[in-house]
Chain A
Amino acid sequence: MSIKGKAYIVGIYEHPTRLATDKTIPQLHAESARGALEDAGLTKNDIDGYFCAAGDTPGLGALSMIDYLGLKLKHIDSTDVGGSSYLLQVGHVAEAIAAGKCSIALITLAGRPRAEGMATGTAPRAPERPMPESGFELPYAPATANMYAMAAMRHMHEYGTTSEQLAWIKVAASHHAQHNPHAMLRDVVTVEDVVNSPMIADPLHRLDCCVISDGGGAIIMTTPEIAKSLKRPLVKLIGAGEAPKHQMGGKVDLTYSGGRWSGPLAFAEAGVKPSDIKYASIYDSFTITVLMQLEDLGFCEKGQGGRFVSDGNLISGVGKLPFNTDGGGLCNNHPSNRGGLTKVLEAVRQLRGEAHPAVQVKNCDVALAHGTGGSLGTRHAGATVIMERE
């Protein structure tokens, strides 16, 4: 069974906060849900499926959030694979809808690492319970930045990728963020600005890293019949793929991501090629994340990502593949340290023709959103979704 055309995205909302000192995480989930319901023209009691990631919903899995929101449901999924969870959930929603397990599904994300003063990328995060690998990793202080940095270092070694090429990814994001009034960083930056910013973890500079922000977002998905009864532009899911990648028992290879496997699954289901994609939301926890995922998804040959992203090729109206026109994680926001949901939101805006006019892609009929959850340097899940305007 394919999910192609079986589910539509009818409601989206991005919480405008970037610093939520006066709000709780559940409150941000609820405000995001309210926004997406209003966008769809639906009400809370229409929801019969709830999807979230266990790691950003306080309580046992989804249960406390379901209670807090006051939901009566037929289907629950709180699968957590880190920042790509929400991309994976879009596919899971479509599966549930296609199987008749629910008809109107809500996905929410929220978090406030900035208000909580979390050193997201530069301090190791000790788990509540030891993981099987903990003894063989925690003593070495793997933070987030230095793990992605090791992937970047190897990519540079094998393919000659340069810091200047990586910097072009941030430059493109900044060109887009200048038009987003909610973006944390709205100043346009240059390649020189990026490579001259302080080194965080070699070879990644401060401007190679995404922002730390509070916030949230929500998505409403439904059946083709209900979608067509609503007043919003029709955006349907046509392909989804998910694939974990890990250390492979010690056969470590940091030159590619799970996108190498999730991408082809999504493209095959959608029946489209990378060259058909008019706009791409690509998870940008770091510049290297974008470069590697673009290669793995087939937008360019493996090893050619540096050349591909250079000279503004990712800037809307300038390059061949407009990406992250909201400014992405590098400039706009990274709620709960998880960038997967906002990737879907901007892709839907593009397909609806509701992106900022300065970055709106002309005739945007097919868009992709992809993310890597977990760590590029150890274990992660790649998740790809392809959407089409009807």
Chain B
Amino acid sequence: MAQTQQQTQPQQRKIAPPPVNPETEHFWEAAGQGKLLYKKCAACGEPHFYPRPHCPFCFSDKVEWQEASGRGTIYTYSVMRRAPVPYAIAYVTLAEGPTMMTNIVDCDLDALRIGQPVQLVFKPSDGGPPVPMFTPA
């Protein structure tokens, strides 16, 4: 049975576990609950990604975690063909503003296009927390 599944299910790329540190452990705990977080500055109002303990625009340390809606659009992407399992890397612009690096998964990689609406999904990493990715909406 296990063999049959291996043959019929699309092969998955092994996802490197993100290093978790005191700055980001809250982000990854939320990821474990299916939530994508970003930071917003209480001083200047700018959202940013990847999340930091300071605002990269005004350098205030009054930054707060926000939960993203999970909706976004593909800013750009590329399908890596020279890999054991071809995969799509992308930048997705979140509905809330910031653009983040990600993968586009569970789809026909040859049908991707810039501007395409995408929806948040989480994929397990190899021994680490689940990682936010996107799939066509």
Do chains A and B interact in one complex? yes
Which A residues are within 8 Å of any B CB, using their own CB? 122, 124, 126, 130, 132-143, 145-147, 149-154, 157, 198-204, 247-252, 254, 378
Can you identify 24 A-B contacts, CB atoms within 8 angstroms? Answer: A122-B82, A132-B23, A132-B50, A132-B52, A133-B50, A135-B18, A135-B19, A135-B20, A136-B18, A136-B50, A137-B50, A138-B16, A138-B18, A139-B18, A139-B128, A140-B101, A140-B131, A152-B78, A153-B114, A202-B78, A249-B46, A249-B49, A252-B75, A254-B75
User: What are the residues of chain B within 8 A of A153 when measuring CB–CB?
Assistant: 76-78, 114
Are B78 and A139 in contact, CB atoms less than 8 angstroms apart?
no
Are A145 and B100 in contact, CB atoms less than 8 angstroms apart?
no
Cα-based distance from A288 to B127 in the complex (angstroms):
36
With A136-B50, A141-B103 given, name 13 new contacts (CB 8 A).
A130-B19, A132-B50, A132-B52, A134-B18, A135-B50, A136-B18, A139-B18, A154-B114, A202-B79, A249-B48, A249-B56, A250-B38, A250-B99
Q: Looking across the interface, which residue of chain B has its beta carbon closest to that of A203?
A: B78
Q: Looking across the interface, which residue of chain B has its beta carbon closest to that of A250?
A: B98
Q: Looking across the interface, which residue of chain A has its beta carbon closest to that of B52?
A: A132
Known contacts A136-B50, A139-B17, A150-B76: A250-B97 contact under CB 8 Å: yes
User: What are the residues of chain A within 8 A of B75 when measuring CB–CB?
Assistant: 154, 252, 254
Are A146 and B19 in contact, CB atoms less than 8 angstroms apart?
no
User: What are the residues of chain A within 8 A of B62 when measuring CB–CB?
Assistant: none
Cα-based distance from A130 to B56 in the complex (angstroms):
19
Are A140 and B102 in contact, CB atoms less than 8 angstroms apart?
yes
Cα-based distance from A261 to B101 in the complex (angstroms):
24
Q: Looking across the interface, which residue of chain B has its beta carbon closest to that of A149?
A: B78
Q: Looking across the interface, which residue of chain A has its beta carbon closest to that of B78?
A: A149
Cα-based distance from A132 to B80 in the complex (angstroms):
24
Count B-side interface residues using an 8 Å CB cutoff: 49
Cα-based distance from A250 to B91 in the complex (angstroms):
10
Known contacts A133-B50, A139-B18: A201-B114 contact under CB 8 Å: no
Cα-based distance from A247 to B13 in the complex (angstroms):
26
B46 smallest CB distance to A (angstroms): 7
B77 smallest CB distance to A (angstroms): 6
User: What are the residues of chain A within 8 A of B121 when measuring CB–CB?
Assistant: none
A114 smallest CB distance to B (angstroms): 17
User: What are the residues of chain A within 8 A of B81 when measuring CB–CB?
Assistant: 198-202
Q: Looking across the interface, which residue of chain A has its beta carbon closest to that of B49?
A: A250
Are A141 and B89 in contact, CB atoms less than 8 angstroms apart?
yes
Identify which of residues 98-130 in chain B touch chain A, using a CB-to-CB cut-off of 8 Å: 98-103, 114-115, 125, 128
Q: Is B12 an interface residue when CB atoms closer than 8 A count as contact? A: no
User: What are the residues of chain A within 8 A of B23 when measuring CB–CB?
Assistant: 132
Are A122 and B16 in contact, CB atoms less than 8 angstroms apart?
no
Cα-based distance from A150 to B90 in the complex (angstroms):
7
Q: Is B1 an interface residue when CB atoms closer than 8 A count as contact? A: no
Are A146 and B89 in contact, CB atoms less than 8 angstroms apart?
yes
Q: Is B60 an interface residue when CB atoms closer than 8 A count as contact? A: no
User: What are the residues of chain B within 8 A of A202 when measuring CB–CB?
Assistant: 78-79, 81
* Contact string against A for B residues 1-24, beta-carbon threshold 8 Å, 1 for contact and 0 otherwise: 000000000000101111111011
A257 smallest CB distance to B (angstroms): 15
Q: Looking across the interface, which residue of chain B has its beta carbon closest to that of A151?
A: B76
User: What are the residues of chain A within 8 A of B28 when measuring CB–CB?
Assistant: 135
Cα-based distance from A34 to B79 in the complex (angstroms):
44
Are B78 and A150 in contact, CB atoms less than 8 angstroms apart?
yes
Are B101 and A142 in contact, CB atoms less than 8 angstroms apart?
yes
B55 smallest CB distance to A (angstroms): 8
Which residue of A124, A249, A251 contacts B16 across the interface (Cβ within 8 Å)? A124
Cα-based distance from A130 to B79 in the complex (angstroms):
25
Are A145 and B98 in contact, CB atoms less than 8 angstroms apart?
no
Which residue of A126, A130, A139, A143 contacts B131 across the interface (Cβ within 8 Å)? A139
User: What are the residues of chain A within 8 A of B78 when measuring CB–CB?
Assistant: 146-147, 149-150, 152-153, 201-204
B13 smallest CB distance to A (angstroms): 7
Identify which of residues 40-77 in chain B touch chain A, using a CB-to-CB cut-off of 8 Å: 46-50, 52, 55-57, 75-77
